[in-house]
Amino acid sequence: MAALMLAIRIEEKTFPGHDAQPLTVFRSLSLDIADGEVCVLTGASGVGKSTLLSIVSGLDREFRGSVSGRPSPIGMLFQTPRLLPWLTALRNVEIAVPGRATDASRWLAAVGLTGHEQDYPQRLSGGMARRVALARALAVEPALLLLDEPFASLDETTAQAMRALLHSGFARRRPTTLMVTHDLANASSLGDRVIVLEGSPARVVRDVAISRGGEPGSGRASMAGPAR
């Protein structure tokens, strides 16, 4: 059993409502995530999965409670790619790892974007932009990896390749990972644990450890992580 690392304690998280009625997203939510554990977080739309990622990342500090043991560096794939439109794909990755242009280039290749290094985000499709964002998240060699719908807006082949990339990455170096997804069937092949959120305020209705059998993922050679 890995040592306990990330402890999420949310006493209350509310959003100001549109009709002056505040919306309580979480109340008394408690989650412990072990070092190197890959947690798949799922639940209905609007239940608060992305908000939870935001709180765990430290970007959302407007809640009562605490997140302790947050490791660093953090890599995060946001719901939208959040690329800087005035920088090329390569520079968008490199800017997160200053002075490591070669690493940035390798990660872009790893997500299948060789030949698109000098493209501006405007010229990339939604799926390609998400892959640049994924390359950026992985390039920082995160100790904590937060993925918000990593396979959304990707075609099935690319999604499969991205899962294989994460598999091979996790096999070498396993950051503590929290992955939000609706695609439970595929995502669970990556995870150690599935957490299901439900209700308003959201609570954990299922927290299931996944037993690992067999070789994970399809492990396509072309999409394997960058050679070191």
Partner 1 sequence: MSDTPSFPILMQRRQSAAALLAMVLVWQIASSIAADRLFPGPVQVVSVLLSEAVGGELLYHLGISLARVVASLAVAVVIGTALGYAAGRSRRADVWMRPWIVVLLNMPALITVILIYIWLGLAEMALVLAVALNKIPNVVVTIREGAGQLDKDLGEMAELYRFSRAAMLRHVVLPQLAPFFLVTLRSGLAITWKIVLLAELLGRSNGVGFQLQVYFQNFDVTHILAYAISFGVVMLAIEYGLLVPLERRLFAWRR
Residues that bind partner 1 (CB under 8 A): 57-59, 73-74, 76, 78, 80, 82, 84-87, 95-96, 98, 120, 122, 136, 140
CB 77 within 8 A of CB 86: no
Q: Which is nearer to partner 1, 85 or 115 (CB)?
A: 85
* Residue 4 host element (H or E): strand 4-15
Collapsing DSSP to helix, strand or coil, 218 comes out as coil
Q: How far apart, in whole angstroms, are the C-alpha atoms of residue 73 and residue 8?
A: 18
Per-residue tokens: 38:
């890959």
Shortest distance, position 83 Cβ to partner 1, whole Å: 8
Shortest distance, position 185 Cβ to partner 1, whole Å: 29
Shortest distance, position 215 Cβ to partner 1, whole Å: 33
Q: Which is nearer to partner 1, 16 or 98 (CB)?
A: 98
Q: Which is nearer to partner 1, 85 or 213 (CB)?
A: 85
Shortest distance, position 207 Cβ to partner 1, whole Å: 26
Shortest distance, position 85 Cβ to partner 1, whole Å: 6
Q: Which is nearer to partner 1, 63 or 188 (CB)?
A: 63
Q: Which residues of 24-57 are buried (b: 16+ CB within 10 A; e: fewer)?
A: ebbbebebebebbbbbbbbbeeebbbbbbbbbbb
Q: Which is nearer to partner 1, 87 or 101 (CB)?
A: 87
Is the link from the previous residue into 175 a cis peptide, with omega within 30 of 0?
A: no
